[in-house]
Amino acid sequence: MTTDHFSKVAPVAKKYAAILFDLDGTLIDSTPAVIAHWTQFGKDYGIDPALILATSHGRRTIDIIKQWRPELANMDYVREVEGRIPKEHAADAKELPGTRTLVSSLHKTRAKWAIVTSGTSALAEPWVKLIGFPRPEVFMTADKVVNGKPDPEGYLLARKQLGLSKTVEPPADVLVVEDAPAGIRAGKAAGCDVLALLTTHSREEVEAAGADFVVEDLESVEWLGGDEDGILLLINPTPPPTVSVLQLGPKLINEVLPN
């Protein structure tokens, strides 16, 4: 354990030009619906659903279908099957802790924010409506990009549509909020700071993907103020499991807390 270890759990106040959110696993949790969808797909086409689910989260349906049944991989088919999910599993989606407070504050102050999701508009738009979240003006879905996460295309397009110029706002002045390694890598590839939520993956997985901050959920993010010119946040990182300081030897204590 080093001083750098402690810097990763210290609260951080930072102003961002915009916040770009993933949807499922970040703002909402529709895990039961997703599991039901891919389980049925696997049964229909003779594929072990566990193999599909092992790598499906955070990726576009069309990219997953390309992997398992490439002959079905067209956007019309994807929209049709994804459009059924909110209709058949509406009760299986819920908002995640802290999300409503943050997105409502962004919406009310006209701050710049967007949703960048691996779901198509046929899936993502109904989820947002069913949960009752405000809809951002910039809503990037799987059918609006050529390349899905971990490619940064969606996040780069969202920046552009929000009117953010790299010459005025460096990429790191935009915060991406994600839960899946594929999305974290996309945010980092876009040059943004990435806040990872521990809602679907382990700390080891999100840290390996390159997350700058790790929190349990959005209740660890405090809204300090915002408007069209920027958003001030206080991020309270979730500390990793550690041994008690009392269990550390004197040598290690002196290393971490020098005289």
Strands 221-227 and 230-235 turn out to be antiparallel
Residue type, 84: R
Q: Which two tokens stand for residue 194?
A: 């990435």
- Residues annotated catalytic, as ranges: 22, 24
**């996040």: which residue's tokens?**
155
The CA distance from 90 to 85, in Å, is 8
Residue 111 has phi, psi (to 5 degrees) of -70, 160
Helix (H) or strand (E) holding 44: helix 31-45
Q: Which two tokens stand for residue 229?
A: 């010119």
- Let me know: does 217 contact 28? Beta carbons within 8 Å: no
Choose among 36, 77, 72: nearest CA to 56: 36
The CA distance from 14 to 70, in Å, is 44
Q: Is 21 helix (H, G, I), strand (E, B) or coil?
A: strand
CA distances from 124 to 22, 57, 75, 83, 209 (A): 10, 14, 15, 9, 24
Within 13 A of 151's CA, how many CA atoms are on the CB side? Answer: 11
- Let me know: does 72 contact 47? Beta carbons within 8 Å: no
Residue type, 195: L
